């Protein structure tokens, strides 16, 4: 934080989030720095008490969220129109509920999709409204994912039309939009949002939880994917790349829940050497990241996948598409590689390069560990976000 921002008044901050996401990482930082008035969430307290905030600072509205989570556990497709409507109403009702009880504050930071009513009220009181978007512009997201579903013959709507309308109203109403990556920022500019309204603040990585705990094997090349197994994450291109990756002893481990939309493709086109492990506890990720030669994340669209920072902190180089936000975390050719979206060939070429040059993999592993020192943990994210809020509320 600059010396000029330190001399400005301290803003009182309220946050609102459907679920938890990175908002509780930010809330802990704002609380430690003396700025958090309250955080509202659609999770219940039983889920949120592990986030480490005093109970009096956390208000919960668990009306629809527990039911949605239960449906997801019982196999309801989270990409279905039914589930999409549930998410929309969960955000809308949380927003209305928060607007009815929000205390006096200087700024409200609301996760996109759930802040229009609350943000407008705070503005009427003389405060500022920040729309925090964890992905690309919602209409950009809808367009690129609709293209992808069409390519693979999947009949589904990428984004709920009502959600698009509501979010774009938030983008227009709010005083500022925060995003985690250059890719997400560019998507807003491409969709016509003024450059001065969008602010990039990259996420941190929990260095206390992620570090090298083992080494990759010498007799096998280990490739890893971590995330939801779906078309948005570029899974077909990863499978094709791995199939074309000529190596005598290779394995691809896929960690994450499997979306119904992609199950038919997995049943038809799963190459030899692929293991689908399903969702694993966060406590197992340091081991599986540390024991992999490379993490591959070929996403079609996302804001800034946290697993990339976790991989670097575990000494695992990354191959990531240009649409993952990863290049706010690592440098192409140093700690990992950038590849175009939808390019299995580019992924295969990088896998071959790392497998054929063990010394390069070791250099990247060392560079990844060095890089996370400059990225910092969530403390740096909190400092940058607070500096932004101070400047916003001072104007």
Q: What is the pLDDT of residues 33-49, one digit of tens each?
A: 999 999 999 999 999 99
Distance of CA 58 to the CA centre of its chain: 22
Q: In the chain, what are the domain boundaries?
A: 3-204+377-394, 221-375
The model's pTM is 0.92
Least confident of 141-145, 155-159, 221-225: 155-159
Three-state DSSP class for residue 331: coil
Q: Would the pLDDT of 392 be above 90? A: yes
- Say if CB 97 and CB 42 are below 8 A apart: no
Residue 150, pLDDT > 70, answer: yes
Collect all residues with Cβ–Cβ distance below 8 Å to 224 and sequence separation of at least 6.
252, 253, 255, 288, 289, 292, 294, 295, 296, 311, 316
Confidence of residue 158 (pLDDT cuts 50, 70, 90): confident
φ/ψ bin of 129: left (φ > 0), alpha (ψ from -120 to 50), beta (otherwise): beta
| Residue 135 clears pLDDT 90, i.e. is over it | yes
**Does residue 154 surpass a pLDDT of 70?**
yes
Instruction: Read off the pLDDT of residues 162-207 as tens digits, 9 standing for 90 and up.
Output: 999 999 999 999 999 999 999 999 999 999 999 999 999 999 888 7
pLDDT of res. 3: 44
**Helices 161-173 and 81-99 meet at what angle, rounded to 10?**
30
Predicted pLDDT of residue 80 = 66
Identical fold for domains 3-204+377-394 and 221-375, yes or no, is yes
Check pLDDT > 60 for residue 57. yes
Determine what percent of the chain is predicted with pLDDT higher than 90.
82
CA distance 64 to 116: 19
Closest residue by Cα to residue 214 from 297, 315, 306 = 315
pLDDT above 60 for 215: yes
8 Å CB contact between 366 and 14: no
Query: In the numeric block, which tokens belong to residue 321?
Result: 């598409």
What is the arithmetic mean of pLDDT over 90-99? 95
CATH 1.10.274.10 fits 3-204+377-394, yes or no: no
Q: How far apart are CA 248 and CA 193, in angstroms?
A: 50
pLDDT band of 77, cuts 50, 70, 90: low
pLDDT at 82 over 70: no
Q: Where are the alpha helices (DSSP H) in 125-212?
A: 138-151, 161-173, 182-190
pLDDT of 144 reads: 97
When pLDDT is averaged across residues 246-260 and rounded to a whole number, the result is 95
* Extended strands (E) in the chain: 13-17, 36-41, 58-60, 107-111, 128-132, 176-179, 198-200, 221-226, 250-255, 274-278, 294-297, 318-321, 336-339
> In this structure, how many other beta carbons lie within 10 angstroms of the beta carbon of residue 266?
16
78 pLDDT exceeds 80? no
Say if CB 191 and CB 108 are below 8 A apart. no
Residue 361 CB coordination number (10 Å): 19
* Strand partners of residue 223: 252, 294
pLDDT value, residue 113:
96
Please, is 313 exposed, middle or buried when counting C-beta atoms within 10 Å of its C-beta (0-12, 13-18, 19+)?
buried
Topology annotation, domain 221-375: Rossmann fold (3.40.50)
Cα–Cα nearest to 363, from 294, 306, 309, 305: 294
Minimum mean pLDDT range among 274-278, 335-339, 361-365, 376-380:
376-380
CA distance 72 to 55: 27
Pick the closest to residue 305 from 134, 171, 168, 149 (CA basis): 134
From 306, 288, 285, select the one nearest 297 (Cα to Cα). Answer: 306
């Amino acid at each position: 934080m600059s010396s000029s921002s330190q001399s400005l008044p301290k803003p009182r901050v309220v946050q609102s989030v459907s679920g938890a996401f990175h908002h509780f990482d930010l809330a802990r930082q704002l609380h430690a720095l003396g700025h958090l008035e309250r955080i509202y969430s659609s999770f219940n307290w039983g889920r949120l008490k592990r986030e480490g905030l005093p109970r009096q600072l956390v208000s919960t509205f668990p009306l629809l969220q527990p039911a949605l989570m239960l449906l997801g556990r019982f196999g309801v497709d989270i990409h279905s129109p039914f589930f999409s409507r549930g998410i929309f109403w969960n955000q809308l009702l949380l927003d209305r509920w928060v607007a009815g009880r929000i205390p006096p504050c200087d700024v409200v930071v609301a996760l996109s999709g759930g802040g229009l009513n609350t943000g407008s009220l705070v503005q009427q009181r003389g405060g500022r409204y920040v729309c925090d978007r964890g992905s690309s512009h919602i209409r950009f997201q809808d367009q690129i994912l609709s293209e992808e579903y069409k390519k693979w013959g999947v009949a589904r709507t990428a984004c709920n039309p009502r959600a698009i309308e509501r979010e774009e109203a938030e983008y227009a109403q709010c005083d500022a939009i925060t995003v985690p990556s250059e890719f997400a920022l560019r998507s807003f500019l491409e969709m016509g949002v003024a450059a001065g309204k969008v602010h990039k603040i990259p996420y941190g990585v929990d260095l206390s939880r992620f570090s090298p705990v083992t080494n990759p094997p010498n007799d096998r090349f280990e490739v890893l994917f971590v995330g939801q197994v779906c078309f948005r994450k570029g899974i077909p291109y990863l499978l094709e790349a791995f199939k074309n990756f000529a190596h005598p002893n290779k394995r691809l481990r896929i960690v994450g829940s499997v979306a119904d939309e992609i199950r038919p493709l997995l049943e038809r086109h799963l190459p030899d050497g692929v293991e689908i492990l399903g969702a694993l506890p966060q406590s197992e990720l340091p081991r599986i990241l540390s024991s992999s030669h490379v993490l591959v994340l070929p996403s079609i669209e996302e804001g800034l996948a946290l697993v990339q920072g976790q991989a670097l902190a575990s000494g695992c180089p990354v191959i990531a598409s240009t649409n993952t936000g990863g290049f706010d975390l690592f440098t192409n050719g140093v700690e990992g590689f950038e590849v175009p979206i939808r390019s299995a060939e580019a992924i295969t070429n990088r896998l071959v390069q790392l497998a054929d040059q063990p010394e390069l993999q070791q250099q990247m592993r060392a560079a990844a560990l060095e890089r996370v020192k400059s990225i910092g943990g969530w403390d740096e994210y909190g400092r940058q976000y607070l500096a932004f809020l101070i400047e916003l509320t001072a104007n």
